[in-house]
Amino acid sequence: MVKGKALKGLGNKYGATLRNKYTTVYIELKQKRVCPNCGSSKFKRLNNGIWGCSRCGFKEAGGAYAV
């Protein structure tokens, strides 16, 4: 999928409120995060609700879209 299309793909079907929410979540998801254990920026979401650092291997349960 081409970057940027994910946001447009929703169209008008779901209304502006939900689209805004989706955009917020999307941005949240793409944000760089810092590992609380080693400070590396390789900290990212591995699965729904699980966040991990690819540098030190630290794992943490968090929200599906945000820590």
Q: Which residues bind Zn ion (CB under 5 A)?
A: 35, 37-38, 40, 53, 55-56, 58
**Beta carbon nearer to Zn ion, 15 or 57:** 57
Q: How far is the CB of 38 from Zn ion (least distance, A)?
A: 3
Q: How far is the CB of 54 from Zn ion (least distance, A)?
A: 8
**Beta carbon nearer to Zn ion, 22 or 58:** 58
- Dihedral sign computed on CA atoms, order 16, 17, 22, 24: positive
Query: Which residues have CB under 8 Å from 55's CB, separation 6+?
Result: 35, 38, 40, 42
**Beta carbon nearer to Zn ion, 51 or 53:** 53
Instruction: Report the length, in residues, of the chain.
Output: 67
